[in-house]
Amino acid sequence: MNAEARCPDVSRENVSTAWGEPWPALGFWVLTLAKYPGVALALGSATGEWVARRHWLTMVAFYVLAAAVTALVPVPRLGVTDLVVRAQGLGAGGLWAREPQRVLAFGFVYFVALGVFEGVRNAATLLGDTERGRGEWGIEPA
């Protein structure tokens, strides 16, 4: 069976309904709404806006870093066999399509980096270290 016969046309509908599975849409909305209180409550002040901007900048930096690392550094197969790759029926080319274990490594590197960043920031705030809690890198908002 070829890839076109197995893959639904997602150009006219969202991925969740195209595959008949609720979890992609549910996961998207849970992750999106989980960010909302922090953003909505923080944006009322100059410090809150600074924290929100810095957080987005940090996420972009970790994304680019994780993409570069997983593209340049050899990544073990992580259990992804040639049979698994062929079964996906991906018509697209590229490094991540040929070696999907790199996508798994990317997700791991990205989310661990974000978790460590948030953990250090939250721990510093709880311990009263305002230099790290409010303004990492010793930079205060203008």
Kindly report, residue by residue over 12-44, the tens digit of the pLDDT: 555 556 667 787 778 888 888 877 776 666 656
Within 10 angstroms of residue 7's Cβ, the number of other Cβ atoms is 14
105 in any annotated domain: yes
Residues 87 and 2: their CA atoms lie apart, in Å, by 10
- Residue 74's pLDDT is what? 94
Q: Which of 108, 113, 99 is nearest to 71 (CA)?
A: 99
Evaluate if pTM is beyond 0.75: no
129 in any annotated domain: yes
101 in any annotated domain: yes
Q: Which of 97, 98, 107 is nearest to 69 (CA)?
A: 107
Looking at the 3D structure of the chain, how many domains does it have?
A: 1
35 in any annotated domain: no
13 in any annotated domain: no
In angstroms, the Cα distances linking 109 to 64, 67, 103, 132 are 11, 9, 10, 23
Q: Which domain holds residue 117?
A: 46-137
75 in any annotated domain: yes
51 in any annotated domain: yes
- Residue 41's pLDDT is what? 64
Residues 7 and 90: their CA atoms lie apart, in Å, by 9
Residues in the chain with pLDDT values less than 70? 1-19, 38-48, 90-91, 129-142
